[in-house]
Amino acid sequence: MFASKDFDDHESVLFFHDRNTGLKAIIAVHDTTLGPALGGTRMWAYRNDEEALEDVLRLSRGMTYKSSLAGLNLGGGKSVIIGNARTDKSEALFEAFGRAVDTLGGKYIAAEDVGTSVADLEAARHTTPHIAGISEGKVGDPSPATAWGVFNGLLAAAEFRLKRPDLKGVRVAVQGLGHVGYGLCEYLAEAGAELVVSDIYDKLVNKAVQNLGAVAVAPETITSQDVDIFAPCALGAILNDKTIPDMKATIVAGSANNQLAEPRHGIDLMNRNILYAPDYAINAGGIIIISHEGPGFNRQKAMQEVAGIHQTALRIFERAARDNKPTGEIADTLAWERIEAARARKHENTKIRKITG
Ligand code: NAD
């Protein structure tokens, strides 16, 4: 495991097996310098254990970067349950998972992800308090906050690249009209942007055409539309050798996770003068709002903090232009600088405590 390309000095990786319920789970805690590791629990029918391990290592590291860049006092972690989310779920399985989470004593906090629902996490809550995103239904679905953050990141990109103070008449192609994509389209339509959309579900496309005046196009043509901005809100690895050469947009800003098929595609975009708003920098609205959960939750205040993604994105664009580096690399550097500074502070405090006895 130490040789795995996705193992990146993770603080701990724990494997759990519960004979009675059949639970097979891995919890990966990547870094807790900034705070407890908050990250979703994914349930997936992985082909083998290696694939599950690879996923949990990659996703937990991603959470460290996302939370750090968002300015949150949270670390990075993630968990996976190996199994079919349609057929293998039971209350007892999630209670067993809760017991696994509880062994970390709050170092890892679980939340919803692909394959898990609020009901599953409520079952896990029977056996551990370390569950986020379900308390008294106050935060609820984080997608509207994610859409608001992506909209703010996209605005920053338009300001920086198109020198536009607003989005009136700016053409945006949105791929995927799900929870985040449709919410983003609503913000864009309200701001006067012209929408070109695609989804594999006609119902969602028709809704955007009827309610928001969007123009529908075939899913396979969305990446090469003659638009100013491409907003991927469906699939990962959409920025690849096949899509980038045909892209006419000069900005990519969307919610999808892991948009770059490989890091080299970030360099490719830069060389073609396409401004890429790093995915995890602008899709952090969901984790920001979840971090506000608890007594005294104030949605307005949380959404204001989400809007701060505008400033974060501008910082990335400016530094990338100054240093002539891909924006993704700059986002990683900024996220890591914050962790290093916190580490140095902790180290200093420990030294002072030792000296003063
Ligand atoms: P969702 O499942 O609600 O929506 C995804 C949409 O994409 C669906 O409507 C689906 O039909 C469509 N789609 C799938 N394949 C497509 C294709 N080839 N062409 C066009 N459309 C296609 O998911 P979501 O919650 O809206 O999330 C969208 C993306 O944003 C995902 O990559 C997710 O990981 C990421 N993300 C979401 C959140 C959140 O708060 N929901 C937070 C961070 C990142």
Check pLDDT > 90 for residue 84: yes
> pLDDT value at position 323?
98
Q: What distance in angstroms lies between residue 282's CA and the mean position of ligand 1's atoms?
A: 15
For a mutational test of ligand 1's pocket, the pick from 233, 279, 287, i.e. the residue with the most ligand atoms closer than 8 A to its C-beta, is 233
Nearest atom, ligand 1, residue 175 CA: 20
Considering the entire predicted model, what is its pTM? 0.92
For ligand 1, atom 32: residue with the closest CA: 256
Which pLDDT score, from 0 to 100, does residue 352 have?
77
Distance separating alpha carbons of residues 159 and 157, to the nearest angstrom: 5
Confidence of residue 356 (pLDDT cuts 50, 70, 90): confident
Q: What number is the average pLDDT over the span 224-245?
A: 96
pLDDT score recorded for residue 151: 98
User: Which tens digit of pLDDT belongs to each residue from 300-331?
Assistant: 999 999 999 999 999 999 999 999 999 999 99
Q: Of the ranges 49-63, 123-137, 146-160, which one carries the lowest mean pLDDT score?
A: 123-137
Q: Which of 216-230, 270-284, 339-353 has the lowest mean pLDDT?
A: 339-353
Is the confidence at residue 137, as pLDDT, over 70? no
pLDDT at 233 over 70: yes
Catalytic positions are: 78
**Which residues' Cβ are closer than 6 Å to ligand 1?**
142-143, 146, 175-181, 198-201, 204, 219, 233-235, 255-257, 283, 286
Banded model confidence at residue 70, pLDDT cuts 50, 70, 90: very high
Query: Residue whose CA is closest, atom 29 of ligand 1?
Result: 256
Left (φ > 0), alpha (ψ -120 to 50) or beta: where does 169 sit? left
Instruction: Name, in order, each residue with C-beta under 8 angstroms of 68's C-beta and a sequence gap of 6 or more.
Output: 34, 76, 335, 336, 338, 339
The three-state secondary structure class of 13 is strand
Please tell me the residue having the least CA distance from ligand 1 atom 14. Answer: 234
Q: Give the Å distance between the CA of 114 and the centre of ligand 1.
A: 11
User: Hey, whose CA ends up nearest to atom 35 of ligand 1?
Assistant: 256
Query: What's the gap in Å between 239 CA and the centre of ligand 1?
Result: 15
Question: 177 C-alpha vs ligand 1 centroid, how far in Å?
Answer: 7
Average model confidence (pLDDT) across the chain:
95
Q: What percent of the chain shows pLDDT beyond 90?
A: 87
Ligand 1: atom nearest CA of 201 is 11
Residue 77, CA distances (Å) to 65, 121, 221, 299 in order: 11, 16, 36, 25
| pLDDT at residue 187, rounded to an integer | 98
Q: How confident is the model at residue 231 (pLDDT cuts 50, 70, 90)?
A: very high
**Best of 78, 201, 221, 255 to mutate for ligand 1, by most ligand atoms within 8 A of CB?**
255
The helix or strand, by DSSP H or E, that contains position 183, with its residue range, turns out to be: helix 179-190
CA of 258 to the centre of ligand 1 (A): 12
Dist CA 307 CA 41 (whole Å): 26
Q: What pLDDT is attached to residue 78?
A: 97
Tens digits of per-residue pLDDT, 252-274?
Answer: 999 998 899 999 999 999 999 99
Q: What integer pLDDT is reported at residue 140 of this predicted model?
A: 77
The confidence score (pLDDT) of residue 136 equals 59
Q: Which atom of ligand 1 is nearest to the CA of 143?
A: 40
- Cα 198 to Cα 201, 203, 215: the distances in Å are 9, 11, 9
| Cα 329–chain centre separation | 16
Q: Of the residues 180, 306, 309, which should be mutated to test ligand 1's pocket, given the most ligand atoms within 8 Å of the CB? A: 180
DSSP code for 320: H
